[in-house]
Amino acid sequence: MLLNFNNLEINNLHPQTDFEKKVIFFLKEWLSSSEMVEVQTSGSTGIPKVFEIAKEKMRNSAKMTCDFLQLKENDTALVCLPIEYISGKMMVVRAFERKLNLIISEPSLQPLKNLDTEIDFCAMTPLQVENSLDKLQFIRNLIIGGAAVSESLKDKIYQTLQDKNASTKIYETYGMSETLSHIALKEIYPHQANYFTVFENVSISTDERGCMKISAPKLNSEILQTNDLVEIKNNHQFRFLGRIDNVINSGGVKIFPEELEALVKKEIPNEVVFLGLKDESLGQKLIVVIEGIESESVNQKLSAINYQLKFHKPKEIIFVEEIPRTPNGKVNRIELQRMIEINRLKD
């Protein structure tokens, strides 16, 4: 289904799929007299919750993204993210507010499967991008969110688009439901930036733990205190180190799993998660969980990894058929930890 927001008669639309029906339902909610919209969080860092957001704040967020990417009226966007979450809702709001033509594609691992024409804007998860490499050249601006973009995926993106001489621009996003999708972007193609750049009217700082505080009055009236450890370069650029919730304390040493995961993903294409299991002598024992079937090839690559510090090398490697994820595709560390611990009790 294609929606033209220059000539939209919502009551004359005839959605064919459940997802199209959900998008139309949200559009009717957006056009209603209510000043608020309900949004569900992903639950990747805790219990999922539903909260209300002012439509005015969502309009401000949409303008920030559209201005940054220089999207203009009659450009074409594609929505392929669940409409229950802020990521999907904001794609629709951006299209509506900027009067973009919006293609509705069922959220799946291959959302670009039937795409055969160029589009100006799309947002996808890393897993969707991994399964859509052959179509990325059709997208002028792509933002990737929901999880960190691995080094191996960055390499695949680079090789694929270089071979096709594509003019695509791709960015990794930083944000959360409370910031109405993202407040910062980091270019990963055609150039690889080292730092996220925040939007205008957004300021950042850190607390005594080194976790980021976000002031974005046009998006949220409160100063948002995150649990994200960051390195701030200047007033508008930062590097994400990891979530303080995920920090592993092994033998009195703090280990940032996200940094180790990025290192390992340079060598293998599998999903990788570092965890800390309870240990009497160390407090937490560092392990790594690999998604997929164990093989000699993968084991050789893992054994050849040069960890910066000796205590970064995991004490144990566990292979699992599938790493649990939240409904919108994020790795569910809490559930994975529970799954590993339960299996230990059975052994």
As a whole number, mean pLDDT of residues 161-171 equals 92
Distance CA 238, CA 230 (A): 7
The percentage of residues in the chain with a pLDDT greater than 90, rounded to a whole number, is 66
Contacts of 35 (CB under 8 A, 6+ apart): 54, 55, 56
C-alpha closest to that of 274 among 291, 262, 288: 288
Mean pLDDT in the chain? 90
C-alpha closest to that of 157 among 178, 177, 129: 129
Weakest mean pLDDT among 63-67, 104-108, 209-213, 325-329: 325-329
> Any long-range contacts for 277-284 (C-beta under 8 Å, 24+ apart)?
277/337, 277/340, 277/341, 277/344, 278/341, 279/250, 281/251, 282/250, 282/251, 283/249, 283/250, 283/251, 283/252, 284/248, 284/249, 284/250
The reply to whether 2-243 and 247-346 are identical in fold is: no
pLDDT reported for residue 347:
63
Domain ranges, ordered by start, for the chain: 2-243, 247-346
As a whole number, mean pLDDT of residues 105-124 equals 94
Q: Produce one character per residue of 70-84: b if its CB has 16 or more CB atoms within 10 Å, e if not.
A: ebeeebbbbbbbbbb
Bridge partners for 102 per DSSP: 3, 77
pLDDT reported for residue 321:
94
pLDDT reported for residue 42:
61
Q: Is the pLDDT of residue 47 over 70?
A: no
Neighbours of 52 (CB within 10 A): 10
Distance CA 202, CA 327 (A): 29
Fold of 247-346: GMP Synthetase; Chain A, domain 3 (3.30.300)
C-alpha closest to that of 160 among 193, 189, 182, 187: 189
2-243 architecture in CATH?
Answer: 3-Layer(aba) Sandwich (3.40)
